[in-house]
Amino acid sequence: MYDVDGQVQLIRVRILMEQATIFIELYKETRQWPYRIENQSDAAVIVYQRPPYSAEHGDTDAGAMTVKRYTIPARSTLDYAWDYPSLPGKLLVLNVNHRERDISLQEIGPSVPLQYPAGGSSGTMAIDVYADGLTQVLHLSEFNPIKSIYRRARQGSIADSFEVANIDSAPNLSVKLRLAGVGVSVINSQVEEIAYVTLRGLEISFVDWSIQQSFHVICQWLQIDNQKFGAIYPIVLYPTMISRRSEDTEHPAFHLALVRSKDTSHGVEYIKYFSVLLQEMSFEIDEDFLYTLIEFANFDTDSTSAKPVVERAIGDESMDIPEPHQVESTTQIYFEVFHIQPIKLNLSYISTDRLDLETDPNRAPSSSNPITFLLGVLKMAIGSISDAPIQMNALLMENLRLTPALLVQLLEHHYRQQAISQIHRFLGSADALGNPVGLFNNITSGVVDIFYEPYQGFIMSDRPQDLGYGLIKGTASFMKKTVFGLSDSVSKVTDTIGKGLTAATFDKSFQDRRRISKIRNKPKHALAGLSQGATSFASSVASGLTGVITQPLSGAENEGVGGFFRGVGKGIVGIVAKPMVGVVDLATNVSEGIRNTTTVFDDTVELERTRLPRHIHRDKILRNYNEREAVGQNLLRNTDDGTYAKEHYLAHLELRGDGIVMILTSTRILAVNIKRSKVDWDVSFAGE
């Protein structure tokens, strides 16, 4: 800008963000200009900002713009700022003896030399851009083929053209590490395995050349398993579309590429290329595992120290605007190309009651508080999402120069805005609404197949009958996907209602049995759904009838007279709510069976945990993974729908020919029927 005396005044603008407040700082700059042009050549240079359109294109606004030209004599320097900083795609024009070249001042590094007329001969000017603190410097000098990476093109090419000089193709160092698989066991502070990370087809390569270095990480398969007992989603993260077969190497699940220049003369850490690719992933998590991860993230080695409870108000009464947090750093990173590929996540989340609520009083809902109880039922009813398609747009930037802290803030802001724009997908994938997004996607995919399959048969083949085959195939696909979508929506609505009614029974043992039964007994077809639904209905009715007697007795035994009357109330509620749960479970199992019938003949490989959860001994000493102990522990936990899940496994022995496994725990010996996962008999060491 210009002051009243016509002198140039430089105003620097800085935009900062702190929570919900955007700060725009304007202050007079007296030390550093944004750009500096150093003309160390033998010719005078005229520079000006390229207008958006030239007059020859018929743009009247461009013709009205005043183009300010600056002459830089030989062996002199000019401090420079854009005359029109609001224009997009700003370019600087170099004019040397009427020969012009457009230069991007944001593009650090050497550019193609400029050959210009000089009297009866010609001269060649080397062009280079480097960083000097916050100032971007355009350095012009006489072309020296010994120091430049450019050389004149061979004969027969375009006149006055240059090409990059040949660089020795043989690298100084090349290291490549290939691993068939890597497994990482995640252990929390209570010495419990909570997750297992599997990386298959892992390849790490590093190549060092004379002028640059490249680093690549390729992972063909990425999987994270939930190792907690009773996990609704045993597999948390896995690629959605990639085959799990080891020969599928064309589409890695993850690929990171980085090419770094070894040139240190430009004042920045020079990254020529950075790219991250993550294939479409399915992310499935339940509430129990989510809280486990939160507790693991707040890792505290001193488990005996009590953390103070911090009360947070819903609204802050203070109207003071917080001061923006300014991150100062002297390290500058420059990216020629910074590219994070588009990301797609199919997100599923389900709210649950934790199986160990009695050991976690901070999260256990208080049944004496009706508001807390109603909120818990509401959370159980509407807090589930199935396959919400979350799509994050790509982040592509060129000639990016910033500090590491600003790069982190940029990534946070980009993906935060992307996540906010996807809220409608979360709501549309709610189980309480029947997952309308999933229903719409299934039906529209079937409609596309009705037209696509006959078209393929007509175009790809000369036989007339292929058109009929395509029509039949497309119609069958439409019917299949429509039935799948409708039955899936019905099962999600009924399952949501069932979870809400289950929370209303106040019977934790009933809730745990139902939860484990649903995990283990997933109907594979319609008949199995009808059978399992009828079994669940009968079990719920029986539990409701027996609860009228068992609940008061259990309450009196544990809490005395008050517990007796609370047990009476639970029994009365259960005799009404549990049969209703049975009816809803019957509808859920039947609809799930119909849904799974549509895919029973599909050639799909069911995804399983990489390995069973690790068995950790009572002494809490971490030992090498033992597959036999893991099998025995898993068998004990799943016997009688988790009745013995809290027993400490010691050893087991399979009796040949009988289908019976003897399991030794710290308190008893069990004889387990493997086919039925039921205990035939058990002997307690305490004589119970």
To the nearest 10°, the Cα dihedral for 617, 623, 627, 630? 30
Q: How confident is the model at residue 362 (pLDDT cuts 50, 70, 90)?
A: very low
Q: What is the pLDDT of residue 298?
A: 75
Percent of the chain with pLDDT over 70: 77
Does position 375 have pLDDT exceeding 50, yes or no?
Answer: no
Residue listed under structure tokens 């930037």: 397
CB-CB contact of 345 with 387 (8 Å): no
Q: Read off the tokens for 483.
A: 């039935």
**Residue 499: what are its φ and ψ, rounded to 5°?**
-65, -40
Most confident stretch, 28-37, 381-390, 455-464, 606-615: 606-615
User: Between β-strands 45-49 and 92-96, what pairing exists: parallel, antiparallel or unpaired?
Assistant: antiparallel
Angle of the 436-459 helix axis to the 465-503 helix axis, nearest 10: 170
CA–CA distances in Å: residue 486 to residues 257, 436, 522, 523, 607: 43, 10, 18, 17, 24
Angle of the 561-597 helix axis to the 526-559 helix axis, nearest 10: 170
Q: What is the pLDDT of residue 25?
A: 80
Q: Round to whole Å and give the CA distance between 584 and 297.
A: 38
Does position 522 have pLDDT exceeding 90, yes or no?
Answer: no
Point out the least confidently predicted range of 92-106, 274-288, 552-566.
552-566
Q: What is the pLDDT of residue 53?
A: 65
Percent of the chain with pLDDT over 90: 25
Q: What is the mean pLDDT of residues 570-577?
A: 82
Among candidate residues 91, 73, 86, the one with its CA nearest the CA of residue 35: 91
Three-class SS state of 353: coil
471 or 124, which is more confident? 124
Q: How confident is the model at residue 579 (pLDDT cuts 50, 70, 90)?
A: confident
**Residue 43: what are its φ and ψ, rounded to 5°?**
-120, 150
Q: What is the pLDDT of residue 464?
A: 63
Does position 57 have pLDDT exceeding 70, yes or no?
Answer: no
For 101-123, what is each residue's pLDDT tens digit? 999 998 998 998 998 888 777 88
Q: How confident is the model at residue 420 (pLDDT cuts 50, 70, 90)?
A: confident
Does position 184 have pLDDT exceeding 90, yes or no?
Answer: yes
For 535-552, what is each residue's pLDDT tens digit? 888 888 888 888 888 888
Q: What is the mean pLDDT of residues 426-450?
A: 67
Point out the least confidently predicted range of 144-153, 296-305, 646-655.
296-305
Q: What is the mean pLDDT of residues 124-132?
A: 91
Let me know if 457 is exposed, middle or buried by CB neighbors in 10 A (0-12, 13-18, 19+): buried
CB-CB contact of 222 with 198 (8 Å): yes
Q: What is the mean pLDDT of residues 627-646?
A: 89
Q: What is the pLDDT of residue 61?
A: 52
Q: Read off the tokens for 199.
A: 């990386």
611 residue type, one letter:
R
For 488-511, what is each residue's pLDDT tens digit? 777 777 777 777 777 777 777 777
Q: What is the mean pLDDT of residues 55-65?
A: 51
Does position 333 have pLDDT exceeding 60, yes or no?
Answer: yes
Does position 630 have pLDDT exceeding 90, yes or no?
Answer: yes
For 265-306, what is each residue's pLDDT tens digit? 888 899 999 999 999 999 998 888 888 888 888 755 444 444
Domain boundaries, the chain: 32-164, 168-296+331-355+371-428, 434-610, 627-684
Q: What is the pLDDT of residue 157?
A: 47
Q: What is the pLDDT of residue 467?
A: 65
DSSP E strands in 227-342: the ranges are 235-239, 254-261, 269-278, 281-286, 333-340
Other CB atoms closer than 10 Å to residue 470's CB: what's the count? 23
Q: How confident is the model at residue 664 (pLDDT cuts 50, 70, 90)?
A: very high
Does position 4 have pLDDT exceeding 60, yes or no?
Answer: no
Residue listed under structure tokens 């009968």: 538
Q: Read off the tokens for 69.
A: 């030209």
Q: How confident is the model at residue 180 (pLDDT cuts 50, 70, 90)?
A: very high
To the nearest 10°, the Cα dihedral for 137, 143, 146, 149? 60
Q: What is the mean pLDDT of residues 434-440?
A: 64
CB-CB contact of 521 with 565 (8 Å): no
Q: What is the pLDDT of residue 409?
A: 84
Q: What is the pLDDT of residue 474?
A: 74
What single-letter DSSP state applies at residue 51?
P
Does position 58 have pLDDT exceeding 80, yes or no?
Answer: no
User: Between β-strands 212-226 and 254-261, what pairing exists: parallel, antiparallel or unpaired?
Assistant: antiparallel
Three-class SS state of 360: coil
What single-letter DSSP state applies at residue 557?
H
Q: How confident is the model at residue 168 (pLDDT cuts 50, 70, 90)?
A: low
Q: What is the mean pLDDT of residues 70-75?
A: 92
Q: How confident is the model at residue 658 (pLDDT cuts 50, 70, 90)?
A: confident
Other CB atoms closer than 10 Å to residue 399's CB: what's the count? 16
Distance of CA 622 to the CA centre of its chain: 31
Most confident stretch, 146-160, 333-347, 539-553: 333-347
Q: What is the pLDDT of residue 203?
A: 95
Q: What is the pLDDT of residue 429?
A: 63
User: Between β-strands 121-132 and 70-72, what pairing exists: parallel, antiparallel or unpaired?
Assistant: unpaired
Q: Round to whole Å and give the CA distance between 585 and 395.
A: 45
pTM across the whole model: 0.73
